[in-house]
Amino acid sequence: MATGRKRVLKVGGASGYWGDAAMATPQLLATGDLDVIVYDYLAEITMAILARVRASDPAQGYAVDFVTAAMAPNLAEIARQGVRVISNAGGVNPEGCAEALRAEIARQGLSLKIAVVTGDDLMPDLDRIAASAPAEMFNGTAFPDKAAIGSINAYLGAFPIARALDTGADIVITGRCVDSAVTLGACIHAFGWGEGDLDALAGGALAGHILECGPQATGGNFTDWREVADSIADIGYPWAEIDPSGAFIVGKPDGTGGKVSVGTVAEQMVYEIGDPQSYMLPDVTCDFSGVVLEQIAEDRVRVEGATGRAAPAALKTCLTWSNGFRGGHLFSFYGLEAEAKATAFAEAAFARSRRAFRAMNLGDFTETSVELIGAESQFGAQRQTAPAREVAAKIAVRHPSPKGVGIFLKEATGLGLASAPGLSGFAGARPKPSPVMALFSYLTPREAVEIRIASDGGTETMRMPASAGPADPVRPALPAPPDMADVVAVPLIRLAFARSGDKGDNANIGVIARRADFLPYIWHGLDEATIRAAFAHFGCGKVERFLLPGSHSMNILLHNVLGGGGTSSLRNDPQGKGYGQVLLAHPVLVAKSLLGDG
């Protein structure tokens, strides 16, 4: 491994999504000893939104609040402390973001230097890409109509960010890079890691993965939420002290709310990772299966054991394209037979809309969705049978034309005096149709993407070296079947933590055993058939399970289960954020002797 140039690098994670709280930056600056603050703003759905914004105003397309809320009030302190800032807030317009921030820096009379990393935007190459017509990487669907495409972005890695820091930049702004690259780039710059330092790169990437969702590592979305419920308002944002080996300690600013525990950090580690032995990033293929987490002090967890293999041969590339329109609304009912009344209301709204379609020679809905929130519509076979006396009917539709969605919204809201009794609600103006920017993911050869780093010293270009891709991982031995002689069924939550999320149209559910001796019961109790049945109401198809013995965990991957994913789904939970909660209610058999119930 390359000789490190720093003993330890302390990085604060100040943003996990576009819209995260502005309190993070001053809170982290108050620690007084950070080297870097990183900001992650970009999810797949965010890129779709930013592409739409840029289409209507070419000066926009970046996370404006990075400039106005995160940077502007804190630039003087950032400059005073010499803290460096790395952010993918550039979205689909990194240069526009940098221009706005330079204007603010000048207004405050500061001399902070900005570097911009671009090259992820492949729209200038649209004709060639459309001619090659790559297939969708997850489900093999055909390339969309070229005229409907709104954005194409390859996911860049960390070495260009490190190079931007090498130029002397105080602030680095990127377009679409992988979420963890903002942290890994700082590590590469600080420690001098090279492309062959695969285990260190994997460790730095894992540190970035823990930081990339902000307070999800410090008690946010935690299974045992009651442990932090009284301090959520003041929750601390995470920092990581990373050493030259890639091992690191996770903590949060002293005196802040939330908590840092093996449970909170493990939940974030298994969040949205797919195959944990082949977590593919532009710079390294990570294996988290042997990672060990240790509580070394209050609100301090040490993480080590990530290993790396060669980087993948291609970069994940996400394209957004116009695929009709969608719209919907919530209509609440309460009283006896609330569920039946809500269902009848939805059917009447669809019937009235279709009658209007026929009169206007419009085609039918592309898709409809009715979910009765309050009647356990998200639980399928686990649904409790007592009839609900109050529900919110979430009714949504998709149609090729905004006129079709508009007709539905008019007809549904026009049913107010004709519906069954108990209709109520709190709402403002009638909702409007919104365009569906569907997601299409494919692979681009890594060496084909030209990356540009623009700094005060000028602009330079770089390309990532070609890679043959990683060797297949060596899979760990699976837990032996446990002794089932004297067992009792308990909800999974008694045995495990869990957290879930999306990747396109696929859902991930990470499950972490509370004790190592629970893992065999969890693994054998949650077999593929059981999981498929638990999520059958969402159209669950292929199920994959992966073992992480180092952290006594497993990750579950549900394919094509989100109704198209966050950019186009009509579901109440289009990103699978509650799927872990569904699974935690599922019964699992475990030895009575392990429960300590006396």
pLDDT digits (tens, 9 = 90+) for 19-30: 999 999 999 999
Identify the pLDDT of residue 3: 45
The C-alpha atoms of residue 203 and residue 137 are separated, in whole angstroms, by 27
Q: Are residues 368 and 419 in the same domain?
A: yes
Q: What is the 3-state secondary structure (H, E, C) of 82-122?
A: CCEEEECCCCCCHHHHHHHHHHHHHHCCCCCCEEEEECCEC
pLDDT reading at 426 higher than 90: no
Q: Are residues 167 and 273 in the same domain?
A: yes
Per-chain mean pLDDT for the chain: 95
DSSP, collapsed to helix, strand or coil, labels residue 153 as: strand
Q: Are residues 300 and 332 in the same domain?
A: no
pTM of the model: 0.95
Q: Are residues 221 and 279 in the same domain?
A: yes
Could you report the per-residue pLDDT of 140-177, keeping only the tens digit for each? 999 999 999 999 999 999 999 999 999 999 999 999 99
Could you report the per-residue pLDDT of 545-595, keeping only the tens digit for each? 999 999 999 999 999 999 998 888 999 999 999 999 999 999 999 999 999
Q: Are residues 198 and 95 in the same domain?
A: yes
Please report whether residue 559 resides in a domain.
yes
Identify the pLDDT of residue 429: 78
pLDDT reading at 504 higher than 70: yes
pLDDT reading at 596 higher than 90: no
Q: Are residues 306 and 229 in the same domain?
A: yes
For residue 271, the one-letter residue type is Y
Q: Are residues 346 and 493 in the same domain?
A: no
Range(s) of the domain holding residue 514: 487-594
Is the torsion defined by CA of 142, 143, 146, 148 positive or negative?
A: positive
The C-alpha atoms of residue 17 and residue 214 are separated, in whole angstroms, by 9
Which of the listed residues 420, 438, 456 is the one where a domain comes to its end? 438
Answer with the residue of higher pLDDT: 4 or 295. 295
| Alpha-carbon distances of 383 from 112, 337, 371, 377, rounded to whole Å | 56, 17, 13, 7
Could you report the per-residue pLDDT of 432-482, keeping only the tens digit for each? 999 998 999 999 999 999 999 999 999 999 999 999 999 999 999 999 999
**Which of these ranges, 44-58, 147-161, 394-408, has the smallest mean pLDDT?**
44-58
CATH code, domain with 387: 3.30.70
pLDDT reading at 5 higher than 80: no
Could you report the per-residue pLDDT of 64-87, keeping only the tens digit for each? 999 999 999 999 999 999 999 999
Identify the pLDDT of residue 381: 83
Q: Are residues 424 and 352 in the same domain?
A: yes
- Banded pLDDT at 386 (limits 50, 70, 90): confident
Identify the pLDDT of residue 241: 98
Q: Are residues 229 and 365 in the same domain?
A: no
Please report whether residue 143 resides in a domain.
no
Please report whether residue 126 resides in a domain.
no
* Number of domains observed in the structure of the chain: 3
Identify the pLDDT of residue 597: 65
Provide the terminal-to-terminal Cα distance of the chain, rounded to the nearest Å.
52
Which of the listed residues 438, 460, 475 is the one where a domain comes to its end? 438
Please report whether residue 89 resides in a domain.
yes
Q: Which residue has the tokens 């009792």?
A: 488
**Secondary structure percentages of the chain, helix, strand, coil, to 5:** 30, 25, 40
Could you report the per-residue pLDDT of 212-230, keeping only the tens digit for each? 999 999 999 999 999 999 9
pLDDT reading at 2 higher than 80: no
pLDDT reading at 598 higher than 70: no
DSSP, collapsed to helix, strand or coil, labels residue 577 as: coil
The C-alpha atoms of residue 94 and residue 364 are separated, in whole angstroms, by 40
Please report whether residue 444 resides in a domain.
no
Please report whether residue 135 resides in a domain.
no
Closest CA to 317 of 273, 274, 282: 282
Which of the listed residues 412, 438, 464 is the one where a domain comes to its end? 438
The C-alpha atoms of residue 116 and residue 80 are separated, in whole angstroms, by 22
